[in-house]
């Protein structure tokens, strides 16, 4: 049986883990990719075990660093414009809310009847 190769000493691992925990998500990937390049082939599984991440995370960091349009801009966590859009109050649904709640369908049947003019 093969003996696992230890790339880091135990006191250094603790320092690296503290530093890694302080980084945002994108910087973590880039840090792991640079560590992989520094340690060489065969260290990906070791890094994934030490830092409790997937090897795909290291691969993604490697792809990002190798890309031609790589920019080390860490000011934004997410892409601008992502996420749920703000709800506007001019949808016209405020007049329909009569306070009917509950029932098997959560009041939907009563609201549909109201819309169709049966109530």
Higher pLDDT, 61 or 111: 61
Q: Is a pLDDT exceeding 70 seen at residue 96?
A: no
Residue 115, SS3?
helix
32, exposed or middle or buried, with CB in 10 Å at 0-12, 13-18, 19+? Answer: buried
pLDDT tens digits, 16-64: 999 999 999 889 999 999 999 999 888 999 999 999 999 999 999 999 8
Per-residue DSSP letters for 32-44? HHHHHHHH-TT-H
pTM across the whole model: 0.59
Separation between Cα atoms, residue 85 and residue 101, nearest integer Å? 26
CB 65 within 8 A of CB 35: no
Cβ atoms of residues 7 and 18 within 8 Å: no
């Amino acid at each position: 049986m093969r003996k696992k190769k230890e790339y880091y000493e135990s006191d250094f691992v603790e320092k690296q883990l503290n530093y890694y925990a302080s980084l945002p998500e994108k910087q973590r990937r880039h840090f792991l990719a640079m560590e992989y390049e520094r340690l060489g082939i065969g260290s990906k599984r070791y890094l994934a075990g030490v830092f409790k991440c997937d090897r795909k995370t290291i691969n993604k960091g490697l792809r990002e660093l190798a890309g031609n349009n790589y920019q080390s801009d860490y000011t934004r966590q997410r892409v601008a414009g992502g996420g749920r859009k703000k709800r506007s109050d001019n949808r016209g649904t405020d007049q329909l809310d009569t306070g009917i709640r509950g029932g098997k369908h959560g009041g939907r049947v009563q609201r549909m009847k109201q819309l169709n003019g049966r109530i």
